[in-house]
């Protein structure tokens, strides 16, 4: 099997025999989207829920935002012949790693990322099958495009398959 790394603010697409991996998810969220009929998938490594002012800055990587990255992952799959009606998603990450001292009313970035990802999936009509989100420890994920399994490993050594 071939293993492809998905960096922060990145979206990668793979096919049969490929594993897409995102390392070091803290408050970031990994979104695995798969076309179950065609055995193709995308993995997005999302850093922020949304751009606050709606203006794109020169050179800014927009894939760091949940709404942009989810849409790009879906469109990348459609570009290679996948259909939205056959797509499904799994997510992991969104831990509460940093205390920014702003209080509960601002919400932590991890939970805001999770909420934004779920909203973006709903907007694209992609059902969310499973999640491993929240908590206080980082994760690494490996998404097997063939099987649709998302293996989640925590920094403390726990392992879970979604």
Kindly list the catalytic residues: 28
Three-state secondary structure string covering 64-96: HEHHHHHHHHHHHHHHCCCCHHHEEEEEEECCC
Cβ atoms of residues 55 and 108 within 8 Å: no
Q: Which residue matches tokens 């760091």?
A: 64
User: Helix, strand, or coil here: 118?
Assistant: helix
Q: From CA 133, how far away is CA 138, in angstroms rounded?
A: 10
């Amino acid at each position: 099997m071939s293993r492809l790394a998905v960096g922060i603010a990145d979206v990668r697409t793979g096919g049969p025999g490929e594993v897409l991996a995102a390392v070091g998810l803290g408050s970031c969220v990994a979104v695995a989207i798969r076309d179950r009929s065609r055995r193709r998938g995308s993995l997005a490594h999302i850093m922020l829920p949304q751009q606050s002012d709606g203006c794109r800055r020169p050179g800014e990587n927009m894939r760091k935002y949940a709404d942009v990255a989810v849409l790009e992952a879906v469109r990348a799959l459609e570009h290679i012949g996948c259909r939205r009606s056959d797509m499904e998603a799994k997510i992991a990450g969104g831990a509460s790693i940093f205390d920014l001292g702003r209080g509960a009313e601002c919400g932590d970035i991890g939970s805001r990322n999770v909420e934004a990802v779920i909203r973006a999936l709903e907007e694209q009509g992609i059902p969310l099958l499973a999640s491993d989100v929240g908590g206080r420890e980082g994760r690494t994920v490996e998404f097997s495009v063939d099987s649709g399994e998302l293996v989640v490993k925590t920094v403390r050594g726990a392992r879970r398959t979604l």
